[in-house]
Amino acid sequence: MPEAKPAEAIGGHREISVSGWKPHPKNSLRGFFTATLPSGMVLHDVMLHERDGARWIAFPAREWKDAEGNRQFARFIEFSSRTVANRFRDAVLDALDRHLERLP
């Protein structure tokens, strides 16, 4: 796996890269992939979802059951605002689209 370099080491370029696409169509889920951030952080098992023309990403979460036995999910990753989350989502989806265009 290539080692990510800090943004300042690559001239301030801040591009997300995607690898390891695994199709897994089920309900809105389309598949899983790995996203490597410019900081060097690697996010495994990011999920691509799609429904009614909308696409979004989801991160792995810890499943638990509430008092009524309903499945709930505890988030590991959270954004400080909806604007920041949307900007990140758009950047990851752009990187994923570039990755998928290169696949045979």
Give the chain's domains with CATH numbers.
7-102 (3.30.1120)
Please give the model's pTM, rounded to 2 decimal places: 0.81
pLDDT bin (cut points 50, 70, 90) of residue 77 is: very high
Q: Mean pLDDT, to the nearest integer, of 26-33?
A: 98
Tell me the pLDDT of the chain averaged across its residues. 91
- At 3 the pLDDT is 62
Q: What is residue 21's three-state secondary structure?
A: strand
**DSSP secondary structure letters along 28-93:** TEEEEEEEE-TTS-EEEEEEEEEETTEEEEE--EEEEE-TT--EEEEES---SSHHHHHHHHHHHH
